[in-house]
Amino acid sequence: MINLKEFEVWFVTGSQHLYGEETLKKVAEHSTIIAASLNDAKQIPVRVVFKPTVKSTEEIYSICEQANTTKNCIGIIAWMHTFSPAKMWIGGLKILQKPLCHLHTQFNRDIPWNDIDMDFMNLNQSAHGDREFGFMVSRMRKNRKVVVGHWQDPEVLEELNTFSRAAAGWNDWQGAKFVRFGDNMRFVAVTDGDKVEAEYKFGYAVNTHGIGDLVKVINETTDASIDSLIEEYEASYTLVPSLLKGGAQYSSLRDAAKIEIGLRTFLEAGNYKGFTDTFEDLHGMTQLPGIAAQRLMADGYGFAGEGDWKTSALVRAMKVMGSGLPGGNSFMEDYTYHFDPENPMVLGSHMLEICPSIAHGKPSCQIHPLGIGGKADPVRLVFNAGGGPALNASLIDMGNRFRLLVNEVEAVVPLHDLPKLPVARVLWKPLPDMKTGCAAWILAGGAHHTGYSQNLTATHLQDFADMAGIEFTLIGKDTSLYQFKNELRWNEVFYQINK
Ligand code: MN
């Protein structure tokens, strides 16, 4: 449902008139080849569009203005094949609102040892031309990604892939709408925050609807649409016997399907990209949405429980960034620990709502009582997630700024069956180790709710945070608590000054 090929990143080459027509013709020729090659590269999920060489203050301003107002343009890749005096870039960079990636490359990979002459030197100047450009971007304190290497280098393509994905996630937030059914869970701190600041900083709006507005739509669901959704459930999941037609709880499955159809209709009608609900406010609903939230997440909607709109929006952005990659992204919660000193790990789960995009194997569709909320037993998908590198990301409101915190983890397959656990579950080992990882998370104020990803790296989220202009902190294999605590202290000062 999220097709990244809809989006364009513009390839913009800077130069100047000093070198004469011949050189500029060569510059344009080379840029065309590079842009076409990037556009064709399998690693890059968006279209890369060649733009004519910019050689003056006016041309640079104009291309930045066009980028700002072109809906499908999600970012710019800039490269200075020759020397492009950077005072010419001030006006353009000042108004540029789209993410910027500075590709520090050159057309030829190797020095042509036998043939190199002053004509060659005159044309291939990016080693110093890009430094002039870099100075100005730094001088203007603008966030950007810098990628270094030959344009055919697979590592360079991978970094451009990461940039493009982060830019797609950022673009998706601009003008996005998230709906909050009911308020934040009573008394909970970290899931709340400043929605005005979020809309200003992130570009998305969070507005509330009383649960009655949703219940009305749910109640308009037709029997025929419920029948066809149940057929889809039967085809996609292994249903426990009580949920099969004629089973004791078949009517609960129909109720669950009805909730899913109503929710989906509501989200589509309002053009929402995600939602949050709370078990404390379900008046008129028969069950807490379990399978509904799970399947809507699998279709790309952002979701988080208990009124946690920040995590819902983050999950959505992560789904856009990971679009088309193997593995999935889900709402997650650190639930309980395995403190075996030989093999410590975290069991992640939620009451119900883990996205089946991270499932290993076919989910089982089950029904069990839920101790909170005071509603009928909710239907949910139960599954294990696979092992391998993964991460948890948390977006928190520190009062004077937003902080995006990431912990790289190693997911592990469950050591044992968990026959009585009625929810989807994931097991992971935080990096650099259990104690350091958890201590650093708590020191950074990371939430119990996260976006869990099997297919994004910390770099995707760091690029994303840079685009948003917010703090990014990473807990990974090299984290030491001493260094991490200092980083938090230093950031505190930085964000007081850098307002
Ligand atoms: Mn929760």
Instruction: For residue 281, report the distance from its CA to the centre of ligand 1, in Å.
Output: 14
CB 310 within 8 A of CB 443: no
Could you report the per-residue pLDDT of 65-110, keeping only the tens digit for each?
999 999 999 999 999 999 999 999 999 999 999 999 999 999 999 9
Q: Distance, CA 288 to ligand 1 centroid (Å)?
A: 13
Distance 310 CA to ligand 1 centre (A): 13
Q: Tell how far the Cα of 163 is from the centroid of ligand 1, in angstroms.
A: 31
CA gap 427, 425 in Å, rounded: 7
Q: State the distance from the centre of ligand 1 to the C-alpha of 352, rounded, in angstroms.
A: 10
**Nearest alpha carbon to residue 108 among 127, 95, 89, 131:** 127
pLDDT at 2: 86
**CB of 332 closer than 8 Å to CB of 452:** yes
Taking the centre of ligand 1 as the mean of its atom positions, its distance from the CA of residue 215, in whole angstroms, is 22
Burial class (CB in 10 A: 0-12, 13-18, 19+), 154: exposed
Residues 6+ apart with CB under 8 A from 397: 192, 193, 194, 197, 198, 310
- Quote the ligand 1 centre to 306 CA distance (angstroms): 6
98 in Cβ contact with 194 (< 8 Å) = no
- C-alpha 314 to ligand 1 mean position (Å): 15
Ligand 1 centroid, distance to 351 Cα (angstroms): 7
Can you say how many angstroms the Cα of residue 102 is from the centroid of all Cα atoms in its chain? Answer: 21
Entry pTM: 0.97
**Ligand 1 centroid from CA 330, angstroms:** 13
Residue 333 CA to ligand 1 center (angstroms) comes to 6
- One digit per residue, the tens of pLDDT, for the chain of length 499 reads 689 999 999 999 999 999 999 999 999 999 999 999 999 999 999 999 999 999 999 999 999 999 999 999 999 999 999 999 999 999 999 999 999 999 999 999 999 999 999 999 999 999 999 999 999 999 999 999 999 999 999 999 999 999 999 999 999 999 999 999 999 999 999 999 999 999 999 999 999 999 999 999 999 999 999 999 999 999 999 999 999 999 999 999 999 999 999 999 999 999 999 999 999 999 999 999 999 999 999 999 999 999 999 999 999 999 999 999 999 999 999 999 999 999 999 999 999 999 999 999 999 999 999 988 888 999 999 999 999 999 999 999 999 999 999 999 999 998 899 999 999 999 999 999 999 999 999 999 999 999 999 999 999 999 999 999 999 999 999 999 999 999 999 999 999 998 7
Confidence (pLDDT) at 1: 62
Distance 270 CA to ligand 1 centre (A): 25
CA of 305 to the centre of ligand 1 (A): 6
Distance 307 CA to ligand 1 centre (A): 9
Q: How far apart are CA 147 and CA 216, in angstroms?
A: 51
CA distances to 30, 352, 370 from 86, in Å = 21, 54, 62
Please report where in the chains the tokens 């995600």 appear, as a residue.
Answer: 274
Please give the backbone phi and psi of residue 111, each rounded to the nearest 5 degrees, phi first: -75, 125
Q: What SS3 class is residue 359? A: strand
Distance 353 CA to ligand 1 centre (A): 9
Q: Which long-range contacts (CB under 8 A, 24 or more apart) does 57-61 make?
A: 57/87, 57/88, 57/90, 57/91, 57/92, 60/14, 60/88, 60/89, 60/91, 60/92, 61/91, 61/92, 61/95
Would you state the structure tokens that stand for residue 22, as one six-digit string?
């011949």
- 151: CA distance to ligand 1 center in Å? 44
For ligand 1, the distance from its centroid to the CA atom of residue 415, given in whole angstroms, is 25
| Separation of CA 450 and ligand 1 centre (Å) | 9
Tell me how far the alpha carbon of residue 69 lies from the centroid of ligand 1, in angstroms. Answer: 39
Name residue, tokens 């208990």: 306
**Ligand 1 mean position to 438 CA, how many Å?**
18
Helix 250-270 × helix 291-298 angle, to 10°: 40
Give per-residue burial for 9-21: e unless 16+ CB within 10 Å, then b: bbbbbbbbeebee
Ligand 1 centroid distance, CA of 70 (Å) = 39
